[in-house]
Amino acid sequence: MKILIINPGSTSTKVGIYEDLEEKIIENITISAEELSRFNDLYEQTDMRYEQVIEFLNRNNLEAKDIDVIVSRGGMLPPLHAGAYVIDDNLCDIMRNRPAQLHASNLGALVAKKVSDLADIPAYIYDAVSVDELTDVARLSGVKKYPRRSFSHALNTRAVAMRFCKDHDMDYYNSNIIVAHLGGGISLNFQKNGHLVDISSSDEGPFSTNRAGFLPIYSCITIAKEEGHEGLQRYEDSTGGLVSYLNTNDAREVEKMITDGDKEAELVYKGMAYQIAKTIGSLSVIDNGKVDGIILTGGIAYSKMLTQWIVDKVSFIAPVSIYPGEFEMKALAQGGYRVMMGEEKADYLR
């Protein structure tokens, strides 16, 4: 089975070919700032991204008719459950005209549909950013009009949780696992019997390399008064976290600063680990302390310094496993493979 994977990012399009579950080709096709500046709207990039995929196929002597299934990263759709959804006209209409939020990943389904139409290829999204399986009590925010939303790194965190269970001879659908995705944005979730029943999103949890994470509400009010809502948004998107404290978004640079004796850098980096550990602790109470494992994943999980600080604080809750990096491409391939083999059923977005 030949699987085409499409995973758009803000400045690149990652494309891959899998034979069943074996990775054959992966390309990360970058897009220059100059090229991006030609587009006034995110969705104007659709044709350009489509051409990137077609050129990728041509470079590798493939045609659309050679593909058995297409799996794309899912974008900021309205709330949906984990797993696969069919990419059809309705899903594309919602993605283009009524998304929950603008995000480069929204383009994935639109590009996949164009490729799918060339040879009537089945196409799916899998574990979209907007996977929402929060319990009723978890959805309460404190203000009735504004319930908590569920935006997290669902694709990577579900994939590593399944891998963890396989590695430890556990049943994923009969286990409680806390997963922390440590990247440019940090999100955590509690997976109970295969469902993301609660999460800590990048705007309500630990600060990261360039995001402020949770800010005290009165500080938000002050920032909005002094710097406008745009300033507040920037802290949550690009100028918070390590950038705000240390003027860098590179954790490796921070570690070098610490090694060179910079005490402020050490305090800030420990502070990030502290907030991650504290959030893991808060998630541990969701099922009355029943936690089978804690997983640290994402790019910053390569940092032995940071992960050790976290392990020191949370290992009393449950054993901690580290799966550094991200496994989105393989996770998409695995999802599509399971659907095609009849192990999972794809739903339709209504």
pLDDT in tens, 215-265: 999 999 999 999 999 999 999 988 999 999 999 999 999 999 999 999 999
Confidence of residue 184 (pLDDT cuts 50, 70, 90): confident
* For the ranges 78-82, 208-212, 312-316, the one whose mean pLDDT is highest: 312-316
Q: For residue 240, tell me if it sits in a domain.
A: yes
Helix (H) or strand (E) holding 315: none
The answer to whether residues 231 and 108 belong to one domain is: no
What are the helix (H) ranges across 66-202? Answer: 89-97, 107-119, 136-139, 154-167
The answer to whether residues 45 and 87 belong to one domain is: yes
Max distance between CA atoms of the chain, in angstroms, equals 60
Tally DSSP H helices, then E strands, for the chain: 12, 11
Q: For residue 142, tell me if it sits in a domain.
A: no
Q: For residue 207, tell me if it sits in a domain.
A: yes
Cα–Cα distance for residue pair 17/45, rounded to 1 Å: 22
Number of structural domains, the chain? 2
Sorted by sequence, the CB contacts under 8 Å of residue 327 that are 6+ apart come out as 156, 159, 160, 163, 297
Cα–Cα distance for residue pair 259/31, rounded to 1 Å: 35
Structure tokens, 153:
């790194």
pLDDT for position 101 = 87
Task: Determine the 3-state secondary structure of 200 from DSSP.
Answer: strand
| φ and ψ of 159, to 5 deg | -65, -45
CATH number at residue 255: 3.30.420.40
Q: What are the pLDDT digits (tens) for 19-44?
A: 999 999 999 999 988 998 899 899 99
pLDDT for position 25 = 97
The answer to whether residues 256 and 333 belong to one domain is: no
The answer to whether residues 165 and 115 belong to one domain is: no
Residue whose entry in the numeric block shows the structure tokens 């590179």: 250
Tell me the residue range of the domain where 334 lies.
Answer: 2-131+329-340
The answer to whether residues 306 and 158 belong to one domain is: yes
Residue type, 268: V
Cα–Cα distance for residue pair 83/108, rounded to 1 Å: 16
Q: What are the pLDDT digits (tens) for 273-293?
A: 999 999 999 999 999 999 999
Residue whose entry in the numeric block shows the structure tokens 């440590």: 182
Q: What is the mean pLDDT of residues 94-100?
A: 94
The answer to whether residues 295 and 167 belong to one domain is: yes
